[in-house]
């Protein structure tokens, strides 16, 4: 779980690194920084979503992407995605070969001023959700998920809804 003292990459409007910044300052001051979101599908084509812990400082108790997190200072998007999968879901990936980069969302107020690199992974093994990060998780059929969002997406993070809209258009 991230702390306000976590060191992130502050970036400019073109996602070029400016230097390190504290996580707490990035959010409080609206500094552009980086994050990753990983969509984990099972072989049946269902998507795993996590319900964020009520102790999270951003979007507590809301449903969100399978795994997500900030890119630490000095870390690449790919390395961050592998780390977040291991930390949040217990999925260990040796290389990013099976982790498919999909697209990057531009930093904006709606994304919390984060450039969001989105990945896709198909996983048939066990998931071990980290209880300090995730209070619930489950597989959703894509029609069920789409209908939930069409009905207003109550209980789903705005960032996931933006990401999902873009995913459905590719």
Mean pLDDT in the chain? 93
| Chain segment 30-51, per-residue pLDDT in tens | 999 999 999 999 999 999 999 9
Q: Among 48, 47, 72, 52, which Cα is nearest to 62's?
A: 52
pLDDT band at 1 (very low <50, low <70, confident <90, very high): very low
Q: What are phi and psi of 93, to 5 degrees?
A: -120, 125
Q: In the chain, what are the domains?
A: 7-168 (3.90.79.10)
**What span, in angstroms and rounded, lies between the C-alpha atoms of 115 and 17?**
12
Per-residue pLDDT for 2 more than 60?
no
Q: Does residue 4 have a pLDDT over 80?
A: no
User: Is the distance from CB of 168 to CB of 150 less than 8 angstroms?
Assistant: no
Residues 27/125, Cβ–Cβ less than 8 Å: no
Question: Is the Cα dihedral 93, 95, 98, 100 positive or negative?
Answer: positive
Determine what percent of the chain is predicted with pLDDT higher than 70: 96
The confidence score (pLDDT) of residue 153 equals 92
Indicate whether 3 pLDDT > 80: no
Residues 6+ apart with CB under 8 A from 87: 69, 130, 133
Give residue 12's pLDDT band: very low, low, confident or very high (50, 70, 90): very high
3-class secondary-structure state, position 160: helix
Pairing, β 33-41 against β 114-122: parallel
Per-residue model confidence as pLDDT tens digits over 47-98: 999 999 988 878 889 999 999 999 999 999 999 999 999 999 999 997 767 8
pLDDT-derived band at 143 (thresholds 50, 70, 90) equals very high
3 or 85, greater pLDDT: 85
Placement of tokens 């789903």 in the chain: 156
């Amino acid at each position: 779980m991230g702390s306000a003292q976590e060191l992130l990459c502050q970036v400019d409007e073109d996602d070029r690194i400016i230097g390190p910044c504290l996580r707490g300052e990035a959010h409080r001051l609206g500094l552009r920084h980086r994050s990753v979101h990983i969509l984990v599908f099972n072989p049946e084509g269902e998507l795993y979503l996590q319900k964020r812990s009520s102790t999270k400082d951003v979007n507590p108790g809301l449903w969100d992407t399978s795994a997500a997190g900030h890119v630490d200072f000095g870390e690449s998007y790919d390395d961050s995605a592998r780390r977040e999968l291991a930390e949040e879901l217990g999925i260990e990936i040796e290389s990013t070969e099976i982790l498919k980069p999909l697209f990057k969302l531009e930093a904006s107020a709606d994304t919390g001023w984060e450039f969001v690199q989105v990945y896709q992974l198909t996983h048939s093994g066990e998931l071990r959700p980290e209880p300090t990060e995730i209070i619930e998780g489950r597989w959703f059929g894509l029609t069920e998920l789409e209908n939930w969002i069409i009905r207003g997406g109550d209980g789903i993070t705005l960032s996931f809804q933006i990401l999902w809209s873009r995913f459905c258009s590719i």
